[in-house]
Each structure stands twice: as structure tokens, then as C-alpha cells.
Amino acid sequence: MYGRQLLEVGLRWQIGNGRTASLIHSQWIPRFQLDSPSYNPQILPGEGDPKVADVICQGEGRWCDTKLSQWFDPSTCRTIKAIPLPRQNMEDKMIWHDTKDGVFTVKSAYHLAVSLDRRKGGWKSLASWMDKASWVRLWNANIPPKLKVFVWQILNRALPTTEALIERKVPIHPRYPVCWASSETMEHLFLDCPVAGALWDYSGLDYLGEGLPRHTFPYFLKKLLALIHQPTLFMAVVAVLWRIWRSRNWVVFEGKQFGFPALMRQFHQQYEEWMALPLAGPMHVSCPTGSHQLAPVAADSIVCMWDGATKSGCHSAGGIVLFTP
């Protein structure tokens, strides 16, 4: 049923001769504003239920200014007069507004659904307010790739918290499985839970004093992304978030109970390992071209395949694979 509602929002009439689309009740004016997700015209008081053809100069292929002004305000008249009319007699037809060719696609419908959801308020997706430059800064940040994906999941609410699972109709207990003190929202998981609070204190990152207020979780993430230009601090904050999520998964999927000393020790070791990675500077990757097939070998042979890579600054890596055909 939601798909049907989405179609009702995204479909509009493409005007041909105007004899099918209703002047008042049909969606036919290509106006899609954030505060008014509708193509319905803004009309002046009138009587009856005319067709779009009633405001077209038949045989001339143009809009009739006098008739338009009888029904619509000046702004809407200007919008309508920008709609091209066909030179030949063509029937009105329904098209999908959010694609250039007017053909429905699942991708465009998904983006429409996200935009409609965003207009309802709240923070269904933090990614909605991020522009291209913000995404570029995130993907170029000096943190391990899995942490970039992890931050992306947080921004898109793609982490399978109990709150997210319940929204997707998964029958699950709403309580946070680590402390059982509240429902597992993003804000409770990463900020309000005693486990999270202890880890923030141990890390030395007092996010109230470091410019990371927790009034709302979206505001917290906006401040987090503002730290990208400070690689060490950004790495530390993301490492705390990652360790909180990992400790949560231990409880949920492995049934493990952890003590705070072990949790702090694991965070410190993990953070030191990540900081030691050669992440800074551009990386240039070269790949062989063409198709390479393994030459025939005897059945009792052992095949060795190897490859390596180097990076400016004396960093290098290699790998060897041994297998039997």
C-alpha cells in the first residue's frame, strides 16, 4: 500500500491535447517543492471541473493567457506557460516525474521515498544533509576503510539496532541487550549507555568539552564530521564508536560478558594499531592488464602465486598463495 501511495505522489500527467487531465484535480503542473510534495495547481476560486484543454488555444498549440488568469495566480500561470505543448494532436498520458524520460524506475522511487521521509522531520537518515564535498572528505579521511563504511552505516541508519529492526517489522525485544536500561536507539547505544560513558571517559575524549555535545545524536555526528581535518582526534572518536559497537555485538551474537578493564585495554590496543597504519598520503595502485590463465600443471604439483605492492616512503607489502590444482 505504501508503494501505491508513492506512485500517487510521483506520477503526473504529461499534457497532450488536455482533454483527459482535470484542470483542478489532476497532478499535471511540474512543481515539486520540499514543503509541498504535490503537482496540484494553486488555483483561484472557480466553479465546475474543467479540463486542461479549456486553457489551451486549440489549433494554435499555445496556452491561453486570458483563461489561465481566470483560474491561476500569476506565479502558477508562469509555471504553466513554460510547459511545452505538442504540435500534433496527442493524448494526455501519465509519466513518472523523477526520471528524465518519464519512465518509472525503482531507484528513482527509492530516492523519492527517502526525500518524503526526510520532510516528515526527525533524522531518518543523517546522510540527507551531507553534500558531495562532505562525502569526499569522509572517504578520503585517514582511517581504515572498514571504519569509513562503519561511519557511512551510522549516517544512513544502516546498523541493525533493535530500533531499526523493529521499524523493519522484525519481532525483537526493544531493550538494549547490553544494559537493558532503555530501547536500543543510536543515541543510547553510543552516548547514554553506561558502557559507552565509561569508554568515553577512559579514552580521554570528554565530548562535552571537545566540541561534541550530545543534545541530539544528529548534532553529535555533525560535530564528529567536522573533526575530519583533525586526523588523530577523528580516528580516536571513531575508534570509540567502533569499540562500543563491537562490544554490543559480542553480547548479542556470542553471549559474551565483558569487564570494563578488558574493554578499555582492547580499545587502547586497537587504537594504537590503527594509528600505526601508513594511511597518510595518496595511494597509487597499478594493475596488470589482459587475461592471465594458469598453465597446465601436473596433478601432484604445488602451485605458488605471489604478488606485491610498494608505496612511497619505504612501505611495502606482499602475499603468497600455495595450492594444489
- Residue 15: predicted pLDDT: 92
Instruction: Spell out the SS3 assignment of the chain.
Output: CHHHHHHHHHEEEECCCCCCCECCCCCCCCCCECCECCCCCCECCCCCCCEHHHHEECCCCEECHHHHHHHECHHHHHHHHCCCCCCCCCCCEEEECCCCCCCCCHHHHHHHHHHHHHHCCCCCCHHHHCCHHHHHHHHCCCCCHHHHHHHHHHHCCCCCCHHHHHHCCCCCCCECCCCCCCECCHHHHHHHCHHHHHHHHHHCCCCCCCCCCCCCHHHHHHHHHCCCCCHHHHHHHHHHHHHHHHHHHHHHHHCCCCCHHHHHHHHHHHHHHHHCCCCCCCCCCCCCCCCCCCCCCCCCCCEEEEEEEEECCCEEEEEEEEECC
Whether 281 maps to a domain, the answer reads no
β-pair partners for 322: 304
User: In this structure, are 137 and 100 located in the same domain?
Assistant: no
- Residue 209: predicted pLDDT: 40
| Nine-digit cell string for 76 | 502558477
User: In this structure, are 71 and 169 located in the same domain?
Assistant: no
Per-residue pLDDT tens, the chain, 325 aa: give them. Answer: 778 888 888 888 999 998 999 888 888 887 644 344 455 555 655 566 788 998 998 878 889 998 888 888 888 888 888 888 988 888 999 999 888 888 999 998 888 887 776 555 444 455 556 667 778 888 888 888 888 999 888 888 788 888 888 877 888 877 777 777 777 888 888 888 887 887 887 777 654 444 444 556 777 777 777 777 788 888 888 888 888 898 888 888 877 776 677 777 777 777 777 777 765 444 444 445 444 566 777 777 888 888 887 766 556 778 888 877 6
Whether 215 maps to a domain, the answer reads yes
Whether 292 maps to a domain, the answer reads no
Q: What is the DSSP string of 159-195?
A: S--HHHHHHTT-----B-TTT-SSB--HHIIIIISHH
User: In this structure, are 51 and 141 located in the same domain?
Assistant: no
Q: Are 118 and 125 contacting, i.e. CB atoms less than 8 angstroms apart?
A: yes
Whether 193 maps to a domain, the answer reads yes
- Residue 114: predicted pLDDT: 73
Distance from the Cα of residue 114 to its chain's centroid: 8
Domain ranges, residue 259: 130-275
- Residue 56: predicted pLDDT: 92
- Residue 33: predicted pLDDT: 42
User: In this structure, are 147 and 185 located in the same domain?
Assistant: yes
User: In this structure, are 258 and 142 located in the same domain?
Assistant: yes
Q: What letter does residue 253 receive in the DSSP assignment?
A: I
- Residue 314: predicted pLDDT: 58
Three-point CA angle 3, 23, 53, nearest 5°: 120
The backbone region for 59, taken as left when phi is positive above 0, alpha when psi lies in -120 to 50, beta otherwise, is left
Domain count, the chain: 2
Whether 310 maps to a domain, the answer reads no
Q: What letter does residue 33 receive in the DSSP assignment?
A: B
Whether 239 maps to a domain, the answer reads yes
- State the Cα–Cα distance between residues 20 and 64, nearest whole angstrom: 18
Whether 314 maps to a domain, the answer reads no
User: In this structure, are 30 and 101 located in the same domain?
Assistant: yes
3-state secondary structure of 296: coil
147 Cβ contact partners less than 8 Å away, ≥ 6 residues apart: 238, 239, 242, 274
User: In this structure, are 115 and 65 located in the same domain?
Assistant: yes
- Residue 293: predicted pLDDT: 61
Whether 29 maps to a domain, the answer reads yes
- Residue 250: predicted pLDDT: 83
User: In this structure, are 36 and 89 located in the same domain?
Assistant: yes
- Residue 210: predicted pLDDT: 47
User: In this structure, are 193 and 98 located in the same domain?
Assistant: no
User: In this structure, are 97 and 181 located in the same domain?
Assistant: no
In what helix (H) or strand (E) does residue 319 lie, and over which residues does it extend? Answer: strand 315-323
User: In this structure, are 209 and 264 located in the same domain?
Assistant: yes
**Residue 292: how many CB atoms within 10 A of its CB?**
7
Last residue of a domain, one of 67, 97, 119: 119
- State the Cα–Cα distance between residues 197 and 189, nearest whole angstrom: 10
User: In this structure, are 14 and 105 located in the same domain?
Assistant: yes
In what helix (H) or strand (E) does residue 322 lie, and over which residues does it extend? Answer: strand 315-323
316 Cβ contact partners less than 8 Å away, ≥ 6 residues apart: 308, 309, 310
